[in-house]
Amino acid sequence: MNPAFGASEAKALVPIFSAAASSLSNKWKDMLLVSNDQSDVFNIPKWTSRATLDAIGQAGFDYNFGAMENQDNRLSKAYHNLFADVFAAPSDRSMIINAVASLLPIKFMARLFEYLSRSNPRLARGRQAREVAREVARELVQEKSKEILDREGKGARDVMSLLVKANMASQNERTRMSDEELYAQMLIIFIAGHETTANSISWILLELSRHPEIQDKLRKEIREKESQLVSEGRSQSGFTADDYDSLPYMNAVLKEAMRYHPAVIRMHRMAFVDDCLPLSESIKTASGKEISEIPVPKGQKVMLSIGGYNRNKEVYGEDAHVFRPERWLENDDSKKGGTSIGVYANLLTFSGGVRSCIGWRFAVLELQTFLVELISNFEFSTTPKCDKIRRETRGVMVPTIEGEVEKGGQCPLRVRIARDTE
Ligand code: HEM
C-alpha cells in the first residue's frame, strides 16, 4: 500500500482535510450564531467522528459519506460509534470465549465468531458493519477500475485510486492483490483511519479546554500566521502543509497530545521463533539472578504498552504525567524522547519499524488542519462533567464519562465563537 501513503500524496490531500474541517466549523457556527451568548455545549466525539468519516471518505476513496450533512448514509450509519459499541468493556463470558478462541487455528476462530455473531449483539453489530463496508468497497473498486481505464489514471489522488492503479499496473501475478484483498485493505483503512483521528481531536480539545493559557497561546500563533498569509496576498484560511509545519507551538501541542493520549494504546505481537528482548538496564529475577535480556520462546504473545512508553519518566522526565507542550520546544533532548523509537516525534504513538502506522503522515496533516481550523474559529472550555472523563480502550482510546460508559464516547465541552473574530 506504500505508493498511496508517501509525503507528497499526503500533502496533496490538505484541501480535502480543510473542506472536512470547515464543514464542521460551519455547522457549529450556524448553531452558535443563533444562541444567546454564541456558545453551547457539544459532545465533541460525536462531531469529530462525522467530520473525520467525511475526510477519510474523500481522501481515502473519493467517496462522499455525507456524514456532516446527512446521517442517513448506509456506511456512515454502520460505522457510527462502532468501536464504542463493539469493543465496550467485555463481559466475563466474552473474555473466556476470546481466550479460548485465541488458542484455535484462525479458520476455526473465524467460524466460531461467525456462529456467535448470530446471537451476540456486539458481534452482530461488527458483522453488519463489515458487510455494509464490504459492499461499498466492492462498488468502489469496480468504479475506480473503470475510471482509471477511462481516464488512464489521470487526476485520481485518493488512496484507493492510487492502490487500484498500482495494482492494475503490477505485472507480477504473485504480488498483485485479488479483488477480495483490495476490499480487505479498504476495510482496514476505514477502520484504522477514522476513529483514531476523531478521538485524537477530542483529546486535544479536552486538554486545550483544561489549559486555557495553552489554548490562547496557540490561537495567537495561528492569528499571526493568518495575518502573514493575508500580507502575502493569500487567503486567511488557505494554509498549506508547509504553513502547518511552520507553526512551532501548534506542532508542540500536537506532539504533546499524541504523547499524552495515544489513540492506539497498545500493540500485540507473537514470537515466530525463539527470541530474546534486550533490556536497557539489567534486572534481578525472583531467584536473584541478574539478567540483561528476557527470553521470548516461539509462540509467546507479547503486549506492548504505547501509553506506558509515552509517559515513561526516564524518557520524558519527572513531569511525564503533565500535559506540557513546551517540553517539545526546549533544548533538553533527554526529556523529549531522546531515543528515536517511532515514526513521528520519537513517540510510540504510530509505532515504529516495518509494521508502523502506514497512515501517520495522513493523520498528522489531518490533525494539523482540524486543530488550526477549530482553534482559529472557536474557544473551548470544560463543563462540570469533564472532571468525570476517563479513558476507555475500545479498539481506540475513547473519552467516556464515569458511570455512563455504556453511552459510548463523551467529551462535553463548551464551544464559543472565538471572541477576537466577532
Ligand atoms: C491519530 C491517528 C492514528 C494513530 C495514533 C495510529 C496508530 C497506529 C498504530 C500504533 C499502528 C500499529 C498497530 C499494530 O502494529 O498493532 C497502526 C497501524 C495502521 N494504521 Fe494507523 N494510526 C492513526 C491513523 C491512521 C490513518 C489516518 C490511517 C489511514 C489513512 C491509518 C492506517 C493504518 C494501517 C493501514 C495500519 C496497519 C499497518 C500494518 O499492519 O502494516 N492509521 N496505526
For residue 210, what pLDDT band results from cuts at 50, 70 and 90? very high
Q: Going along 271-411, which residue ranges are E strands?
A: 275-284, 290-296, 301-305, 378-381, 389-394, 396-401
Report the SS3 class of residue 151.
helix
pLDDT higher than threshold 80 for residue 3: no
CB 365 near ligand 1, within 6 Å = no
Using only C-alpha atoms, the chain has a radius of gyration, in whole angstroms, of 23
Provide the pairing of β-strand 275-284 with 412-417. unpaired
Looking at residue 136, what is its pLDDT?
85
Whether the Cβ atoms of residue 415 and residue 40 lie closer than 8 Å to each other: yes
Whether the Cβ atoms of residue 131 and residue 188 lie closer than 8 Å to each other: no
CB 368 near ligand 1, within 6 Å = no
Say which residues have a Cβ less than 8 Å from residue 45's Cβ, sequence separation at least 6: 198, 199, 202, 398, 399, 408, 409, 410, 411
Looking at residue 336, what is its pLDDT?
52
pLDDT higher than threshold 70 for residue 161: yes
Query: What is the 8-class DSSP label of residue 296?
Result: E
More confident residue, 309 or 87: 309
Reading the block at residue 352, the C-alpha cell is 515504529
Residue 296, Cβ density class (10 Å: 0-12 exposed, 13-18 middle, ≥19 buried): middle
Say which residues have a Cβ less than 8 Å from residue 161's Cβ, sequence separation at least 6: 62, 144, 147, 148, 153
Whether the Cβ atoms of residue 167 and residue 176 lie closer than 8 Å to each other: yes
- Please give the mean pLDDT across all residues of the chain: 87
Burial state string for 304-322 with b = 16 or more CB within 10 A and e = fewer than 16: eebbebbbeeebbbeebee
Q: Is the dihedral of CA 71, 405, 101, 115 positive or negative?
A: negative
Show the DSSP H helices in 261-405 as ranges. 306-310, 313-316, 360-377
Query: Cα(285) to centroid of ligand 1, in Å?
Result: 35
pTM, full prediction: 0.89
pLDDT higher than threshold 80 for residue 396: yes
The percentage of residues in the chain with a pLDDT greater than 90, rounded to a whole number, is: 50
- Compute the distance between CA of residue 157 and CA of residue 20 in angstroms, rounded to an integer: 16
Report the SS3 class of residue 243.
helix
pLDDT higher than threshold 90 for residue 214: yes
Which atom of ligand 1 has the smallest separation from the CA of 1?
A: 35
- Compute the distance between CA of residue 226 and CA of residue 237 in angstroms, rounded to an integer: 7
pLDDT higher than threshold 80 for residue 1: no
CB 363 near ligand 1, within 6 Å = yes
Report the SS3 class of residue 164.
helix
**What would the mean pLDDT of 68-85 be, rounded to a whole number?**
75
CB 267 near ligand 1, within 6 Å = yes
334 C-beta neighbours (distance < 10 Å), count: 11
Looking at residue 112, what is its pLDDT?
72
The percentage of residues in the chain with a pLDDT greater than 70, rounded to a whole number, is: 91
**What would the mean pLDDT of 325-351 be, rounded to a whole number?**
78
Report the SS3 class of residue 302.
strand
HEC sequence for 181-240: HHHHHHHHHHHHCCHHHHHHHHHHHHHHHHCHHHHHHHHHHHHHHHHHHHHCCCCCCCCC
For residue 2, what pLDDT band results from cuts at 50, 70 and 90? low
CB 192 near ligand 1, within 6 Å = yes
CA-closest residue to ligand 1 atom 18:
357
Q: For 347-359, what is each residue's pLDDT tens digit?
A: 999 999 888 998 9
Report the SS3 class of residue 136.
helix
For residue 11, what pLDDT band results from cuts at 50, 70 and 90? confident
Whether the Cβ atoms of residue 12 and residue 399 lie closer than 8 Å to each other: no
pLDDT higher than threshold 80 for residue 409: yes
CB 372 near ligand 1, within 6 Å = no
- Ligand 1: residue of 5, 190, 357 to mutate (most ligand atoms within 8 A of CB) is 357
Query: Cα(276) to centroid of ligand 1, in Å?
Result: 26
Of 65-74, 76-85, 371-380, where does mean pLDDT reach its minimum? 76-85
Looking at residue 27, what is its pLDDT?
95
pLDDT higher than threshold 90 for residue 165: no
For residue 4, what pLDDT band results from cuts at 50, 70 and 90? low
For residue 150, what pLDDT band results from cuts at 50, 70 and 90? confident
Query: Cα(349) to centroid of ligand 1, in Å?
Result: 9
**What would the mean pLDDT of 297-318 be, rounded to a whole number?**
92
Looking at residue 154, what is its pLDDT?
61
Looking at residue 64, what is its pLDDT?
85
